[in-house]
A = this chain, B = another copy of it.
Amino acid sequence: MAERRIVESLVKERSAWPHEHVSLVLLVIDGVGDVRHPDFGMRTPLEAAQTPNLDELAPRSALGRVMPVDYGITPGSGPAHLGLFGYDPREVEIGRGVLEALGLDMDLKTGDVAARANFCTISGGLVVDRRAGRPATQVSAEKCKLLQQELGRIEDVEVIVQPGKGHRFAVLFRGPGLAEGVSDTDPHENGQPLHEAISLRPEAEKTARIVGEFQRRAEEVLSGHEPLNGILMRGIAERPSLPGMQERFGLRAATIATYPMYRGLAKLAGMELLQTGPRVADEFRCYAESKDDYDYHYIHVKATDEAAEDGDFDRKVSAIEEVDRHLPIIVEKMPDALAITGDHSTPCCMKLHSWHPVPLLLHSPRCDAGGQRRFTEHECSEGSLGIFLAMHLMSLLMANAGLLDKFGA
C-alpha cells in the first residue's frame, strides 16, 4: 500500500507535465514468457524468434522481469492484469462470476452481482449431469433466451442472462441492495441435490433470496426441456469498485484489446474501450491514431498465449514475430514511455500459465538502458530493472514519462 499511496500523492498536475500530450504505452504480449526445455531445443520462443525491431530497441531500453503476483504464484488473467495496472493483486480480488461475465462482454456496473452458471440435468431431485450432456452452444443460447424472456426481473432486480460456450452461461443481477457473499447452488458433483443459495453475511441476504428465486423459477421454465431442465450457479460475486486510472494517476486511459475479458478488466480499472480491428497491425494502428486523445494506452495481444497453451512453440514464435514486424507503428509515434511485457508466462512445455517472471522492456529517453542485446528472458534477468512485482511497473512508467514529483525535500 505504502509505495502506491506515495506514487499517487506525487502525480503532477497536468499543467506541470513536461509537454501537453504525454503518451504511456503498456503493450501486453499475453503469456510471452517461457522457459528453456529440452523438448524445444533448450531455447525459448523469444530466443528463437527473428525480432529485428525488438533487437534494435533492446540495447536502448531498460530490461527486467516482472513477477505477476509473488514468488511461485501462477496467476489467472485477472490478478495478472491487476498487477500491471498498478493494483496489488494480493489485496484486490475479482470473483469468478465477475470474470466470467467480463469474458462474455457483459457490461458490469458498480453494485452488480454476477454468477457463472451451467445448464444441468435434474432427475428425481438430483443433479444427474452437471453439464446437461454437453449441449451445443446454439442449444444453450436458445434456453438462455427463454430464461431471459421469463425471468428478466425478480422483485426490483433486473436479471440479465448471457450465453457462453456449450452448457455455460452467466447471470447478472442488477438492482438496489445486492452484495456478494452467497454460496454456490452448484453441488460440484453429480448425484447430489442442488444446494440452496445461502447468504454468508448479512449484507447478502437479499442477493441470496433473489438468486434462490431465480434458481427455483428457472427449473419451472425449463421443465420438460430435458436434458437442459435445470441450472446451477457458482462464483457469485460483486463487481469490485476500484479507483481508476484517472482517479489514481490523473491519466485518461484507453484500451486496445480484442478479447472481452481483457476489455472488461481494463474497464474495471477505469479505462475507455477503443474500437480496433482483429489483427496486431490493426491494434497498433489504433494506438497511432488515438495517441493524442489519451495519456495511457493498454494494448493486448492474445495469439502468443493461445499458441503456448496449445504447446505450439512454432506458432508462439510466429506470433512474437508478428508483434515485432508491426512494432515500428508504435515506436515511430515515440511514446514518452513504452513498456513491453506479458501478463504472465505460459511455457510451451507446460501448456499452462506459470509463475515464472515475465520479460520486460521499458523504453524512454531516460530509462537506464543496460545495453543487453535482445528482449529475451535471460537477457532481461540481467537487465538494469532486476526482478520485481508487476504492481510497481505503473510507477516506473509514470516516472519515465516525467509525471511524478520529487518525494520529500
* Chain A interface residues toward B at CB < 8 A: 2-3, 6-7, 10, 35-37, 42, 65, 69-79, 89-91, 93-94, 96, 99-100, 347, 349-350, 352-357, 365-371, 377-378, 381-388, 392, 395-400, 404-409
Contact = CB atoms under 8 A, between A and B. Distances in A.
Given A72-B396, A73-B7, A377-B368, A90 B356 contact: no
Given A366-B349, A366-B350, A386-B387, A71 B409 contact: no
A79 B392 contact: no
A72 B7 contact: yes
Nearest to A386: B387
B35 A409 contact: no
A372 B370 CA distance: 15
B378 A370 contact: yes
Copies per complex of this chain: 2
A261 to B, nearest CB: 9
Contacts of A347: 366
- Most chain B CB neighbours (cut-off 10 Å) among A94, A352, A353, A399: A399
Given A69-B6, A396-B71, A404-B72, A35 B78 contact: no
Contacts of A70: 2-3, 6-7, 392, 395
A71 B10 CA distance: 13
Nearest to A388: B71
Contacts of A387: 385-386, 388
Nearest to A350: B366
A384 B378 contact: yes
Nearest to A89: B408
Given A35-B369, A74-B406, A355-B396, 14 more contacts: A6-B73, A72-B399, A73-B404, A73-B407, A74-B399, A76-B408, A99-B409, A349-B365, A353-B406, A357-B384, A357-B386, A370-B381, A381-B383, A381-B386
Contact of A76 (B2, B72, B381, B409): B409
Contacts of A37: 365-366
A272 to B, nearest CB: 24
Given A354-B366, A366-B349, A96 B409 contact: yes
A1 to B, nearest CB: 10
A101 to B, nearest CB: 12
B72 A368 contact: no
Given A377-B384, A388-B71, A35 B408 contact: no
Contacts of A71: 3, 388, 392, 395-396
Contacts of A400: 72
Nearest to A403: B72
Contacts of A349: 365-366
A114 to B, nearest CB: 12
Contacts of A385: 387
Nearest to A406: B74
A6 B389 CA distance: 15
Nearest to A355: B399
A10 B79 CA distance: 14
A69 B386 contact: no
A407 B79 contact: yes
A105 to B, nearest CB: 16
